[in-house]
Amino acid sequence: MNAPAKVAVLISGRGSNMQALAEHAGDDYEIVVVASDRPSAPGLAWAIQHGLPTFALSPKGIGKPVFEAALDGALREAGAEWIALAGYMRLLSDEFVAKWRGRIINIHPSLLPKYKGLDTHARAIDAGDAAGGCSVHVVTEELDGGEVLGQREVAILPGDTPETLAERVLAAEHQLYPAVLKEFVRR
């Protein structure tokens, strides 16, 4: 049997998708580092409590090239082969994406190619869509534009607000992301 794929997970906040990925890690993949652009991100505390190595550095005052060089160095030092973005709210430079081409995936709270970027739930509700949902995609230089690897649809209910829809979509993300990551690192 092959060794588990070595995955770095990038977060900016509470890290609920990182937690879902960690809880499903095993024979297919292991998390070798949880990295954040926000040293105070609550998800880092969870990672530390659960014995996961962490890296945190704020890009404020050092600039994107220096920040991304340090991030890249930390991921490589941890032995990462793949990157899973899990609520990482910073755009990666084209240069960073090129270094990891075909090895970075992201979870996005819409049914791509609909609603790239932010405010996805409000946009789906305002458009009168019957469903929102989530997508896991390969990260490319185009914002939310890479190959879609998997999706999960979530019905938009009468009276839904962006917040109520977001809660149900997040639950779907927690189911979808680990399953897609397992397939992705083994293909």
Residue that the structure tokens 């998390």 belong to:
31
Instruction: Establish whether the linkage from the previous residue to 65 is cis, with ω within 30° of 0.
Output: no
Calpha distance 181→39 (Å, rounded)? 25
Active site residues: 108
User: Structure tokens of 95?
Assistant: 């240069």
CB 173 within 8 A of CB 134: yes
Secondary structure of 156-172 as H, E, C letters = CCCCCCHHHHHHHHHHH
3-state secondary structure at position 66? helix
